[in-house]
Structure 1
């Protein structure tokens, strides 16, 4: 199958590209720069020049392919609504090109769209009252495509998709601990984060492309919910700094932009995903990954500067 991948050189997308190529698929990767084009060509992917806001490039990429995996996302921390609008436009344009063809379309979403405080499942709808509310319209638009002859599926990623190359939440927590001299957690630290290794997530995207039924919602979750005090404890041990509890109201001032996210209790199940697609995570869990070396090397630290 020839697969058009947006975000093909990103942290998740690059792992998906390698997964697809290793299993006999062809990849047409969206590239907005010369560096991205060179990176794609070096692993054997075909290059399609364009970007998420170049809607014509999205249309032509989808038209030239047997299926689409959409992982690109503009993260504008100061304007989450604008990020969500760009994602929604891309999904609508890609979906319109695929309409009536029964071709697969795998769309990326987030566990953060579910209401906190309970074990989220694939059957739970995205909530406008969730932390990830700016992406709710994208899920709804994607699912609507199943009635228009598109074999669409949604992969919800947890807040921590870990592994080498990670420059997201966990490296930011490590950076804060280095800077402040303590590894902190909010309140009693019992709130839970789901997690998955990026290679396990990439495997799920391929299975969704190949096998998922139209309208499927899938959870890329290996660890259902790691208590954040255990994450803070592992960071404390590796850095040799004290681990401390903070009042919940101080999380924002201590952690900055990540404070609210680190205070969420958003455990999630992938039981239905495993049953439907036979997906079985095999990579190290989050705490085991933190016990390795990558997250605490100079290379990982430099990516946050």
Structure 2
């Protein structure tokens, strides 16, 4: 299968590229720079220069492939409205290119906003609807193409896709602990995050491309609910610094941008995903990854 991937040199995308190539697939990757293009070429993937604003290029790349995996996002916290517009336009362009083909389109989605006093399930609909909603409502937008001859699949990734070399949420928490000389959690620390190891997430994307039916919603989650207090404790032990509670209103000042997410309950189950695709975990757990030096 020839798979076109956006975000191909990112944290999740680079693992997906490696895994797809290792399992015999052909990969084309969106490359915003010559450096990114060289990284993909060295791996044996086909670089395609462009970015998410190049909707004509995205449409052409999708049309030339057997499948699409959309992992890129601008994540411009200074211009969320612009980020959402770009996301919606990019998803529309690639989905239109696949209309009527029955080819798979795997979309990276988020778990935020889904939890309702319990871990979210794959059957919980995303509340993000319309162009002004988070990520431009891209999950609901794409799922509508299941009736238009596209094998659409939404993969909701845990807030922690962890592993050695991670620069995401957990790395930001570690950086804040180093900066302040203490590892913090908010309030009682009883909110919880789901987690998945990067290698397990990459394997799920491949299984989704190969076998998930149209309209599937998957959860890239191998641990349903890890309390934010437990995450802070693990960081404290790893860095040998004290662990403290701080008021929720101080979250952004202490943690930076990740503070707005650390107090959110983003727990989730993946029971349906595991059963549908016979997906199992093989990577280490989040707390073990922290304590064993993945973020050292």
TM-score range, shorter-chain basis?
over 0.9
Question: Structure 1: where are the runs of 5+ without partners?
Answer: 297-305
Equivalent position of 1:49 in the other structure: 49
Q: C-alpha offsets along residues 166-199 of structure 1, whole Å, 9 cap, x if unaligned?
A: 1111111111111111111111111101011111
Q: What is residue 80 of structure 1 aligned with on the other side?
A: 80
Equivalent residues of 2:27, 2:45 under 8 A apart: yes
- The alpha carbon displacement at 1:81 in A equals 2.2
| Structure 1 match to 2:118 | 118
Tell me the residue number matched to 1:195. Answer: 195
Give how far 1:260 is off: 2.2
Corresponding position of 1:282: 282
Question: Aligned equivalents of 1:19 and 1:183: distance in 2?
Answer: 34
Unmatched segments (≥5 aa) in structure 2: none
Q: Does 1:19 align with 2:5?
A: no
C-alpha distance in 2 between matches for 1:236 and 1:293: 12
Aligned length: 294
Which whole-Å deviations, capped at 9, do the CAs of 1:48-102 have from their partners, x for residues lacking one?
1211111121111111111111111111011222212111111100000000000
TM-score by length of 1: 0.93
Further displaced range: 112-121 or 275-284: 112-121
CA distance in 2, matches of 1:107, 1:96: 14
Shift of 1:133: 4.4
Residues in 2 aligned to 1:135 and 1:9: alpha-carbon distance in whole angstroms: 20
1:295 aligns with 2:268: no
Q: How does 1:56-205 map to 2 (within 5 A)?
A: 56-128=56-128, 133-135=133-135, 137-205=137-205
Distance 2:184 2:18 in 1: 36
Residue 116 of structure 1 deviates from its aligned partner by: 4.8
- Compute the TM-score of the two structures, normalised by the length of structure 2: 0.96
Q: CA deviation at 1:135?
A: 2.1
Q: CA RMSD in A?
A: 1.5
Secondary structure of 2:112's counterpart equals helix
